[in-house]
Amino acid sequence: MAVKIRLQRGGRKKRPFYSVIIADSRAPRDGKFIEKIGTYNPTTDPATIDIDNDKALDWLLKGAQPTDTVRAMLSYRGLMFKKHLQIGVNKGAITQEEADKKFEAWMKEKEESISKKTDTISAKKEAEAKARLEAEAKVSAARAEAIAAKQKEAEAEAKAEEEETSAEASEEESAEAASDEAPASEENQEKKED
């Protein structure tokens, strides 16, 4: 029986979530499996890989063949390098202490590179958020200026209308006063003639 280390898909549509499993190579993707050794979430940045290193290394040493994706994940986690070192220890090429030192040095470098990547991603997100806020501030300032300009125009129009209405009212008052004076003067003339 050929044993594979592969992914079993879970999650909902367009939101995949995988289980890392040990299964017979003839079994269907989401079918029967021997053991679950971890999970993989590709939707996060960087992808979340949670694998039981001891079980994975044990199965690798027993001869289980990882698929290409799982091989990349195991290599990312350092398990393929650890397998390589363990085979050297089994053959007597190096001692276990030397292998452990090499693996720990490799892990330190890997953790530094991962932390740098997460820092750059977080810095990029912060810069994008800051740029977005600045753009929103510019838009809101422009909108406020436009509203203030419209209010000034409306006030100017209101003043002009007030002046027109006051001018019309004064004209009407003067016209009424003139019309009131005209009949009075006519009455005075009629009285004089009598």
How does pLDDT run across 44-87, given as a tens digit for each residue? 877 889 999 999 999 999 999 999 999 999 998 888 998 888 88
In this structure, whether the domain defined by 3-94 belongs to CATH 3.30.300.30 is answered with no
Q: Residue ranges per domain, the chain? A: 3-94, 96-172
For the segment 179-186, the average pLDDT, to the nearest whole number, is 58
Cross-strand pairs, 10 = 17
pLDDT for the residue numbered 186: 57
pLDDT for the residue numbered 67: 93
pTM of the model: 0.61
**Mean confidence (pLDDT) of the chain:** 86
How does pLDDT run across 4-43, given as a tens digit for each residue? 999 999 999 999 999 999 999 898 888 899 999 999 999 9
Residues in the chain: 194
How does pLDDT run across 100-112, given as a tens digit for each residue? 899 999 989 988 9
